[in-house]
Amino acid sequence: MNINWYPGHMKKTKESMKRSLPLIDIIYEVLDARVPISSKNPDVDNIIGNKPRLIILNKADLSNEIANKEWERFFLNKGIPTIFVNSLTGSGLNQIVNKSNTLIKDKMNKLKDKGIKNRPIRAMILGVPNVGKSTLINNLSGRKGAKTGNKPGVTKGNQWIKIKGNLELLDTPGILWPKLDNEELALNLAFTGAIKDELLDIEDLAFKLLEKLIKLCPVLIEKRYNIIVRNHSTYEIMESIAMNRGCILKGGEIDYTRISNTIIDDFRKGRIGKITLELP
């Protein structure tokens, strides 16, 4: 399955980020807690250099709690502070302000020694499309300062937003990298909505997602769709789900487009269960 998406605005975003870095005190790198490595843009490390960084694993309400602990240890072993948040409900957001104050305390103290007092902490927020950056920002700021949407590519330009705790946040559009060579990584991005569905074969994507979920969490599939997974092929399981959900065309044929959209939507909204697609 060939997956590739790198609009022109993403290249411009990277260039703009590099120009803005001298103004920045700390980087917020937002990852999808269900796919922390797949949603981590490998270009970011080179772009930000030695800037203090806080990894924010968003959508933690949709990921597996045991897996969350493993990922927290993984990043801490690399010396990168990590917090888990649910940007929709606001759970975990207060940790962002507290962690930020701790991470750049020395720098702010040096500014005070120079007579510069009460300067806001300036943060840049980075992440792949549809990782939940704008929703996170709106919860932090208490207002609808950033455009949000359930499709990638909503934020089109850099914008400064004041948030609580004497923080100023530079929002940036979601950026992918030019070539998605790793198929599993590309699929994980597609499963979680980081790549526009319009660019994908939705039936093929749903089949591959179901195939993966059958291996990872067959019990959750059985419970959600009231079917038996054992000793059945992915194709047979998809047909069973379609029959149970009434995704049938005239003449009794399976409506594969409809059931494909159902399976993908159920996964993205956590209806199947709390699922992490990759582990350290």
Enumerate the known binding-site residues.
58-61, 86-87, 130-135, 174
Cα separation of 241 and 201, whole Å? Answer: 19
Task: Label each residue of 63-87 as H, E or C.
Answer: CCHHHHHHHHHHHHHCCCCEEECEC
Cα separation of 121 and 100, whole Å? Answer: 8
- 175 close to 8: Cβ distance less than 8 angstroms: no
Instruction: Say if residue 211 is exposed, middle or buried (CB neighbours under 10 Å; 0-12, 13-18, 19+).
Output: middle
**What is the three-class DSSP state of 156?**
coil
- 234 close to 172: Cβ distance less than 8 angstroms: no
Binding-site members for GTP are: 58-61, 86-87, 130-135, 174
Report residue 234: phi and psi, to 5°. Answer: -60, -40
212-226 as b/e, with b when 16 or more CB fall inside 10 Å? bbbeebeebbeebbe
Contacts of residue 125, Cβ cutoff 8 Å, sequence gap at least 6: 27, 28, 30, 133, 136, 137, 169, 170, 171, 172
Task: Label each residue of 99-143 as H, E or C.
Answer: HHHHHCHHHHHHHHHCCCCCCCEEEEEECCCCCCHHHHHHHHHCC
